[in-house]
Amino acid sequence: MNASPLIYLTHVGLLEVLDEPGVPVVVPDRVLAEIGFRGATDPAVIAVGASPWIQVVPTPPIPKAVLDGGLDPGESAVLAVALERPGSLAILDDLAARRCASSLGLSVQGTLGLMVVAKRIGLIPEVRPLIDRLRQAGLYMSQPLAERILRAAGE
């Protein structure tokens, strides 16, 4: 899981959408370092520390195929961890990272897709207010993407 989904899910109070029994949520230490630059009082750092179901793992060596993608260190770490764990789901928002993940045969999901999942499993009644909050928090999304997510959520 990369930094922006952790930050945004914490911001809207939905980090627990990832807590599924028997399914580990793995965060590379490099991603935690990216979040932690704001200090120990950052809400996402606190949320990760307070969520025993999140495992922080050492960042493995980054494969050449990932390095060639020109991604930031956190995104590269997420892909390296996902490649070491067949069948895992890489949680990324950055389009270039998502494309790289797909080219490597990895399954990928983003923050907005997780909002749709949260609605489907009954954690939230609506996605639209969360989209507004995420935009206010700084998550960029085009209007066509927002409309596509709302359609997927049945709104």
**Structural domains of the chain in order of their starting residue, each with its CATH number:** 3-111 (3.40.50.1010), 113-152 (no CATH)
Inter-residue long-range contacts of 108-114, CB under 8 Å, 24+ positions, other chains counted: 110/5, 111/4, 111/5, 111/8, 111/9, 111/139, 112/141, 112/145, 112/146, 112/149, 113/149, 113/152, 114/5, 114/9, 114/14, 114/17, 114/18
Per-residue pLDDT of the chain (155 residues; tens, 9 = 90+): 889 999 998 988 888 888 877 778 999 999 999 988 877 888 888 998 899 999 999 999 999 999 998 999 999 999 999 999 999 999 999 999 999 999 999 999 999 998 898 898 888 899 999 999 889 888 888 999 999 999 999 99
